Structure 1
Amino acid sequence: MGNQKMVVAILLILALPIVDLVLLFRVGKYIGFWRTLGLVFGTALLGVALLAVQGFGVYRKALNELGAGRIPKNQVIDGLLIVIGAVLILLPGPMADVAGFVLLFPLTRWPVRGAVLRWIEQYIYINI
């Protein structure tokens, strides 16, 4: 059963970029090459700006948590999700952009953070 999950995961990892590029070409066919190129660069620039703003905010919150003597677990997960979101936005394709923006905005990131924290608590034991 474990091998089947691994095969499915590998197939998804290989198929999603192909589907994303097909969608990008369809968008390009519909709105034109230059507008599509502008959309790709525009989302990349917006992603970099959001990375800077959100990343600095999470860094500041992590420092506050450390200063209060607490472990900044939410901020560490947020930081990781923000970096993943920024990388996804830098990749060309509408699906990657949507997933990246979901990870960059706090209101849409918190459910993902909750799922990641539950997964960590279920599979990883940390003795502090």
Structure 2
Amino acid sequence: MWIFLAFALVPLVEIGLFIQVGGAIGLWPTLGLVLATAALGTALVRSQGARALSDLRLALHDLRDPTAPLAHGAMILFAGAMLLTPGFFTDSVGLALLVPAMRRALMRYLARRVQMASFTVGGAEIRPRQGAGVIDAEYYEVEPENAPEPPPSGWTRH
């Protein structure tokens, strides 16, 4: 139902905005403004997308959670689609998504509304534990006193 409303209302809003802006500044300046926002948006999406990809690579390299860089990349991709769609409403949504503070605010909002049930890594399904906490402990390794030395692995020379 929401998708139907979006596909019905967004074109109507865009038509209304084209009429209003075109009436205020004229046809050619309106078309020039639409083309300029598409060009500006493409350049911004390219630079921000490269930064998001770099952040994702760094997160994967450092074995950190890649959720935030992936979400930023998805929102930048969506912003690019909005900026390439002709219209003032879609351009404003696309430009808003290119602001990092706006993306972080949207991520916080979505994080409160979305709960992960499970995910799969390498064929293994992982489910979050309910009520799992951090256990702070100290440890030391116990070595048997008279343990025999393990046989050579075959990878070393004697």
Interval of TM-score (by shorter of Structure 1 and Structure 2): 0.7 to 0.9
* TM-aligned CA deviation for residue 115 of structure 1: 2.5
Measured at CA, do residues 123 and 15 of structure 1 come closer, stay the same or move farther in structure 2, by a change above 3 Å? Answer: farther
Q: Give the fraction of aligned pairs with identical amino acids, expressed as a percent.
A: 32
Count how many residue pairs are aligned between Structure 1 and Structure 2.
121
User: How many Å separate the matches in 2 of 1:118 and 1:124?
Assistant: 14
- State yes or no: 1:14 paired with 2:8: yes
User: How many Å separate the matches in 2 of 1:80 and 1:94?
Assistant: 21
- The 3-state SS of whatever aligns with 1:111 is helix
* TM-aligned CA deviation for residue 112 of structure 1: 1.3
| Unpaired runs of at least 5, structure 2 | 120-125, 128-158
1:96 is matched with which residue? 90
User: How many Å separate the matches in 2 of 1:39 and 1:51?
Assistant: 18
What code does the residue aligned with 2:118 have?
A: Y
Scaled by the length of structure 1, what TM-score is found? 0.84
| Unpaired runs of at least 5, structure 1 | 1-5
1:45 is matched with which residue? 39
1:108 is matched with which residue? 102
Structural RMSD (CA): 1.7
Instruction: With a CA cutoff of 8 Å and minimum separation of 6, indicate the structure with the bigger relative contact order.
Output: 1
User: How many Å separate the matches in 2 of 1:74 and 1:123?
Assistant: 14
1:45-77 residue CA offsets vs partner (Å, 9 max, x unmatched): 011001111000011111111111113100101
2:80 is matched with which residue? 86
- The 3-state SS of whatever aligns with 2:106 is helix
Measured at CA, do residues 19 and 53 of structure 1 come closer, stay the same or move farther in structure 2, by a change above 3 Å? Answer: same
- State yes or no: 1:125 paired with 2:118: yes
Measured at CA, do residues 124 and 23 of structure 1 come closer, stay the same or move farther in structure 2, by a change above 3 Å? Answer: farther
C-alpha contact (below 8 Å) 1:48/1:86 kept by paired residues: yes
* TM-aligned CA deviation for residue 43 of structure 1: 0.3
C-alpha contact (below 8 Å) 1:20/1:95 kept by paired residues: yes
Give the ranges of 4+ consecutive aligned residues of structure 1 lying more than 6 Å apart after TM superposition.
Answer: none
Select the structure of larger CA radius of gyration: 2
What code does the residue aligned with 1:38 have?
A: G
C-alpha contact (below 8 Å) 1:85/1:99 kept by paired residues: yes
User: How many Å separate the matches in 1 of 2:87 and 2:34?
Assistant: 8
User: How many Å separate the matches in 2 of 1:117 and 1:41?
Assistant: 35
